[in-house]
């Protein structure tokens, strides 16, 4: 890059432009020398030689033409060279800029203009700092100053910005251009786009950071793993011994050295400080009392095949269960447990088994004798069984008679049921007729009362108007009572269609409707999710709506209230129920539980109508629906502490 910049600077500087051939001054000197030489020849010619003179002039003319042709060729080659240089300069893979001491752009190639996204002619005499990110302008200032100061190749990296605002990383390599006096007058700079390299470096740094993090995590995991294995090693219930096998000159097992043991080793054997010792030193006499152990350990250490044995270890007077395996050739690991108690228990069990065998033989003899006695008794008992069988046959006949009576009773019950259905239909028709007969006079009373109060309002005094208002209110209340009685009769006698009902959804709808009806009241609603039951959806909707309406009513005096719906999967001991118990709970006025029996009685009230309006039939309707579902309903409360209504469904 340094060589390229020097080449460009030497060609671009006005003081250093040269031709491919000789310089014009040199040509002039050569021409003058040739001309002088020729004139010297002409001076030698005499006036009597005109033909020779003409010949010399013609030769001179031809020489001039040849020199002129040579000059034209040189000029063409120079122009071609300049064109090649211009292409090389403009289409170089990097941007080339020429700056003066003030950082103004004197010259720039097409690549450099393309890097900044501006036409080349618009860049001339413009400060290069305009295209440098604000944070990096000091970097360019110091870089330019160092180039003019040292006159050596300088390199820096900074962030440039294009005309459209897009930025990129660039590397600047600059070299000073000197005049004839050796003064630095220009700065030639090669600009390379290193964005991809910077992004690669950034990605590499992030990758290294990630790798370092992974290494740290892996190191931590390995450390934790080592700690876990060390903890496992030290807290093993079984004893653990890692040993190196020693062989004699013939390759037979001679001894072994303890390389490591765990805490359970000392606890199970009673041996201490055995690491680094030979077993014959730690347990004198072991080779004489248990030569088979050396053979087993040596075989496992050489072959790597694990083995397992139970052995009565005489030197320590204990029984051991040994598992032996090899981790590397010439070494073995012995994992063992003290099974002395188990062996003693097995011995005691064998003795008990022998005693039991003797007792079984004795008992068998007694049973054989007893069997003979029983055979005699069975023979006598057979006759008694025959008589009992006869009595059983008679009992079966009696049972058949009872079954026939039961079938007849069932048929009679079905007939009664059909009659009851017919009576219910007649009762419905009667209720409808009665309601019409009762509602017609009430509508007449309301109509005439409204007509009198409107038409004769001027002639009625205050007392008369009050009487008419009372008549109207009484007729409306009578109408409500009749409608409530009809609804209760319809719900409690209608056909029940059982299916799975989402009670939580019914409670959400009831709460939503009451919230719309009383938007000014701040009531906290808590509804358990996914509460389901088997029953008639229309009847159960009436149950939930009445219980929520009751809760809203009796929390009306509270500035803020809470109503909760849920289910309990537990035993209710005082009523003998086991299974889901549903409830609606409020923190309203409450009542004395001693009078709870009045709640479900039609038209019975525990509070005055002036305190809490209503006709007193909602809870009675709820109770009848619950009973139709084979369930129970009850209430728990205390004055001023709210009330909870519980109910079950079969």
Average pLDDT, the chain: 80
pLDDT > 90? residue 226: no
Q: How confident is the model at residue 41 (pLDDT cuts 50, 70, 90)?
A: low
| Choice between 477 and 348, residue whose per-residue pLDDT is larger | 348
> What gap in Å lies between CA 171 and CA 136, rounded to an integer?
12
Could you give the count of Cα atoms lying within 13 Å of 92 in the half-sphere of its Cβ?
Answer: 23
Whether 643 shows a pLDDT value over 60: the answer reads: yes
Question: How confident is the model at residue 15, as a pLDDT?
Answer: 43
Query: Cβ contacts of residue 60 below 8 Å, gap of 6+?
Result: 38
Check residues 6 and 329 and name the one with the higher pLDDT. Answer: 329
User: What's the DSSP call for residue 48?
Assistant: T
The residue count of the chain comes to: 650
- Indicate whether 609 pLDDT > 60: no
Q: Are 152 and 175 in contact (CB under 8 A)?
A: yes
C-alpha distances in Å from residue 365, one per residue of 141, 356, 369: 121, 14, 6
- Residue 17 is predicted with a pLDDT of 36
Q: What is the pLDDT of residue 436?
A: 57
The whole-number average pLDDT for the span 296-318 is 91
- Helix or strand holding residue 308 (H, E): strand 307-313
**Cα separation of 647 and 631, whole Å?**
7
Q: Are 637 and 574 in contact (CB under 8 A)?
A: no
Task: Work out the average pLDDT over 134-157.
Answer: 93
Which range among 427-431, 450-454, 464-468, 632-636 has the greatest average pLDDT? Answer: 632-636
Residue 2 pLDDT exceeds 90: no
Give 278's DSSP letter: B
pLDDT score at 487? 63
**CA–CA gap between residue 632 and residue 548 (Å, rounded):** 18
Nearest of 172, 169, 159 to residue 198 by alpha carbon: 169
Q: What is the model's pLDDT at position 391? A: 67
Instruction: Supply the pLDDT for residue 21.
Output: 42
Percent of the chain residues past pLDDT 70, beyond the cut: 75
Kindly give the residue spans of alpha helices, DSSP state H, lying in 456-523: 462-493, 503-517
Quick one: pLDDT at residue 398? 66
Q: Which residue in 270, 248, 246, 243 sits closest to 259, CA to CA?
A: 243
What is the CA 263 to chain-centroid distance, rounded? 43
Exposed/middle/buried for residue 112 (C-beta within 10 Å: 0-12, 13-18, 19+) = buried
561-572/523-527 β-pairing = parallel
The pLDDT of residue 397 is 74
- Residue 573's pLDDT band, with cuts at 50, 70 and 90, is very low
Checking if the pLDDT of 577 tops 70, the result is: no
Query: What pLDDT does 81 receive?
Result: 66
Mean pLDDT of 56-80: 76
**pLDDT, position 18:** 38
* 353-412 residue pLDDT tens: 788 888 878 877 877 887 777 777 767 666 667 776 676 677 667 666 767 766 776 677
């Amino acid at each position: 890059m340094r060589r390229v910049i020097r080449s460009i600077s030497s060609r671009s500087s006005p003081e250093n432009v040269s031709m491919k051939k000789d310089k014009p001054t040199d040509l002039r000197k050569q021409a003058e020398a040739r001309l002088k030489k020729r004139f010297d020849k002409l001076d030698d010619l005499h006036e009597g030689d005109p033909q020779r003179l003409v010949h010399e002039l013609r030769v001179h003319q031809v020489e001039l033409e040849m020199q002129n042709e040579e000059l034209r060729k040189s000029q063409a080659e120079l122009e071609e060279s300049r064109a090649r240089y211009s292409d090389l300069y403009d289409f170089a893979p990097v941007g080339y800029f020429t700056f003066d001491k003030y950082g103004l752009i004197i010259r720039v190639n097409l690549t450099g203009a393309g890097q900044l996204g501006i036409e080349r002619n618009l860049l001339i005499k413009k400060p290069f700092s305009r295209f440098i990110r604000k944070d990096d302008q000091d970097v360019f200032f110091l870089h330019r100053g160092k180039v003019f100061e040292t006159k050596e190749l300088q390199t820096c990296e900074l962030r440039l910005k294009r005309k459209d605002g897009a930025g990129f990383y660039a590397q600047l390599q600059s070299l000073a251009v000197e005049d004839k006096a050796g003064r630095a007058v220009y700065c030639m700079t090669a600009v390379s786009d290193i964005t991809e390299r910077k992004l690669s470096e950034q990605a590499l740094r992030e990758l290294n950071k990630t790798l370092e993090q992974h290494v740290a995590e892996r190191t931590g995991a390995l450390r934790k793993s080592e700690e876990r294995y060390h903890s496992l090693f030290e807290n093993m219930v079984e004893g653990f011994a890692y040993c190196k096998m020693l062989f004699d000159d013939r390759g037979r097992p001679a001894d072994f050295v303890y390389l490591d043991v765990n805490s359970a080793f000392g606890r199970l054997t009673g041996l201490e400080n055995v690491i680094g010792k030979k077993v014959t030193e730690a347990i004198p006499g072991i080779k004489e009392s248990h030569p088979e152990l050396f053979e087993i350990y040596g075989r496992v250490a050489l072959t790597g095949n694990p083995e397992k044995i139970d052995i009565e270890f005489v030197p320590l007077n204990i029984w051991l269960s040994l598992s032996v395996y090899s981790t590397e050739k010439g070494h073995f690991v012995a994992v063992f447990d003290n099974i002395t108690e188990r062996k003693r228990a097995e011995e005691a069990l064998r003795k008990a088994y022998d005693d039991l065998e003797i007792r079984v033989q004795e008992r068998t003899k007694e049973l054989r004798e007893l069997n003979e006695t029983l055979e005699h008794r069975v023979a006598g008992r057979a006759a008694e069984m025959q008589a009992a069988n006869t009595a059983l046959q008679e009992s079966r006949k009696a049972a058949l008679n009872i079954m026939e009576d039961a079938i007849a009773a069932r048929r009679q019950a079905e007939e009664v049921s059909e009659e009851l259905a017919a009576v219910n239909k007649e009762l419905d028709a009667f209720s409808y007729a009665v309601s019409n007969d009762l509602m017609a006079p009430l509508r007449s009373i309301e109509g005439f009362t409204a007509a009198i109060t409107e038409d004769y309002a001027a002639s009625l005094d205050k007392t008369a108007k009050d009487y008419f208002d009372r008549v109207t209110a009484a007729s409306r209340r009578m109408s409500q009572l009749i409608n409530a009685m009809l609804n209760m009769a319809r719900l409690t006698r209608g056909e029940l269609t059982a299916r799975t009902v989402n009670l939580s959804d019914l409670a959400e709808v009831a709460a939503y409707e009451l919230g719309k009806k009383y938007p000014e009241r701040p009531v906290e609603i808590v509804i358990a999710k996914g509460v389901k039951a088997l029953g008639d959806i229309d009847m159960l909707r009436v149950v939930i709506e009445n219980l929520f309406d009751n809760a809203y009513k009796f929390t009306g005096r509270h500035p803020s209230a809470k109503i909760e719906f849920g289910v309990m999967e537990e035993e209710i001991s005082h009523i003998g129920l086991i299974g889901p118990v549903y409830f609606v709970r409020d923190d309203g006025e409450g009542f004395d539980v001693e009078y709870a029996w009045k709640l479900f009685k039609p038209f019975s009230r525990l509070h005055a109508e002036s305190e809490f309006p209503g006709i007193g039939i909602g809870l009675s309707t709820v109770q009848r629906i619950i009973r139709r579902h084979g369930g129970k309903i009850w209430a728990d409360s205390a004055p001023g502490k709210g009330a909870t209504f519980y109910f079950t469904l079969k």
